[in-house]
């Protein structure tokens, strides 16, 4: 069974194909013409962490594809009362066609997938946020920053990305994407807040085949200099609220403001997965400025996740209600 727990579950060609499909689905929606490929299918959505974008995009996306999204708070199912994950997985997957899970420990997702009879999608874990990166890459492509691959048009600018901030699940997923697709990524974090060493080392091995380059540093100015994509994320993620004051001190100098953005290329774009805390990881002027693409990026969660769901159906040779042209 093919799942989507990290970006490493998709090959480079599959990531590019999913992005291309997302573009087509977005255009269909603009034309008020969305094909119900997943007519009659049920997506179970398990939330152990609250969400705005993840819930609305998945629930809206499965509806537009002709299926039904079932919201399952961990407080409302036996998982929240101590039922073993493997039992919950076997039961739920026997009744639905796909599961999206948003949780804390990544190991929970791995165990859920191990016992599931249907595809599992990581809606966010403490270690990775792959669905967000698919939306980010779609946004980059729309802005003319992506890898030409025979499907997308030539003349695109190859990504040079600076990620500024906490070495968290977003940083890990950016590291995965850069390694798989083969572009340059610079991660700037304070000492003590670097991304996980094992994730970096694994990505560097992949870079030897893909041509990617990953640099880890402490200097935001050095990271941003000459790049065409600048990314950041909140300094204190869900579950780290008690560390907020400590992190604010550690991250002094890591706010993406106008002076930092001015070091990037003139037509560089700014991305943030949201929610954003203005005046902390990003200034109001950058978030609301002409280089910001954060709300386009947020909207692209809908289209990217529709494409991910369809790709998993195709990759697992499951039936669709309507024929789908997709190069996988």
Please give the positions annotated as active site: 102, 129, 132, 233, 273, 301
Contact 99, 118 (CB under 8 A): yes
Is 132 flagged in the annotation as binding?
yes
Is 11 flagged in the annotation as binding?
no
Is 234 flagged in the annotation as binding?
no
90 φ, ψ (degrees, to nearest 5) = -65, -35
Instruction: Lay out the sheet containing 68-73: strands in order across.
Output: 68-73, 42-47, 98-102, 120-124
Is 196 flagged in the annotation as binding?
no
Contact 168, 322 (CB under 8 A): no
Is 54 flagged in the annotation as binding?
yes
Is 274 flagged in the annotation as binding?
yes
Please tell me the distance from the alpha carbon of residue 183 to that of residue 53, in angstroms, as a whole number.
27
Structure-token match 């929240």, residue found: 80
Please tell me the distance from the alpha carbon of residue 220 to that of residue 326, in angstroms, as a whole number.
40
Structure-token match 């002409």, residue found: 290
Is 233 flagged in the annotation as binding?
yes
Is 238 flagged in the annotation as binding?
yes
Closest to 220 measured CA to CA, from 179, 159, 276, 262: 262
113 φ, ψ (degrees, to nearest 5) = -65, -35
b/e burial code for range 228-244 (CB count within 10 A of at least 16 → b) = bbbbbbbbbbeeeeeee
Contact 276, 234 (CB under 8 A): yes
Is 169 flagged in the annotation as binding?
yes
Please tell me the distance from the alpha carbon of residue 145 to that of residue 47, in angstroms, as a whole number.
33
Is 52 flagged in the annotation as binding?
yes
Is 206 flagged in the annotation as binding?
no
Binding residues for carbamoyl phosphate: 51-54, 78, 102, 129-132, 273-274, 301
Binding residues: 51-54, 78, 102, 129-132, 169, 233, 237-238, 273-274, 301
Binding residues for L-ornithine: 169, 233, 237-238
């Amino acid at each position: 069974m093919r799942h989507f727990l990290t970006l490493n579950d998709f090959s480079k060609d599959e990531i590019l194909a999913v992005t291309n499909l997302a573009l087509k689905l977005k255009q269909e929606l603009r034309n008020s013409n969305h094909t119900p490929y997943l007519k009659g299918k049920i997506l179970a959505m398990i939330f152990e962490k609250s969400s705005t974008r993840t819930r609305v995009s998945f629930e809206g996306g499965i509806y537009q594809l002709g299926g039904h999204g079932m919201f399952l708070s961990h407080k409302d199912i036996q998982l929240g009362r101590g039922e073993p994950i493997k039992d919950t997985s076997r039961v739920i997957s026997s009744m639905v066609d796909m599961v999206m899970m948003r949780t804390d420990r990544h190991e929970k997702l791995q165990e859920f997938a191990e016992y599931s009879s249907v595809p599992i999608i990581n809606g966010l874990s403490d270690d990775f946020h792959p669905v967000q990166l698919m939306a980010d890459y779609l946004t980059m492509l729309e802005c003319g920053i992506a890898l030409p691959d025979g499907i997308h048009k030539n003349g695109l600018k190859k990504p040079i990305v600076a990620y500024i901030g906490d070495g968290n699940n977003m940083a890990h997923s950016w590291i995965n994407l850069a390694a798989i697709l083969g572009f340059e990524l610079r991660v700037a974090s304070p000492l003590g807040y670097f991304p996980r060493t094992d994730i970096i080392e694994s990505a560097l091995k992949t870079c030897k085949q893909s041509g990617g380059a990953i640099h880890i540093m402490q200097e935001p100015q050095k990271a941003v200099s000459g790049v065409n994509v600048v990314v950041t994320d909140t300094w204190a993620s869900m579950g780290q609220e008690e560390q907020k004051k400590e992190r604010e001190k550690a991250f002094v100098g890591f706010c993406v403001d106008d002076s930092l953005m001015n070091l990037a290329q003139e037509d560089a774009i700014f991305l943030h997965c949201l929610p954003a805390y203005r005046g902390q990881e990003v200034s109001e002027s950058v978030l609301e400025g002409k280089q910001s693409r954060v709300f386009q990026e947020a909207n692209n969660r809908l289209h990217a996740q529709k494409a991910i769901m369809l790709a998993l159906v195709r990759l697992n040779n499951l039936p669709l209600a309507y024929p789908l042209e997709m190069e996988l």
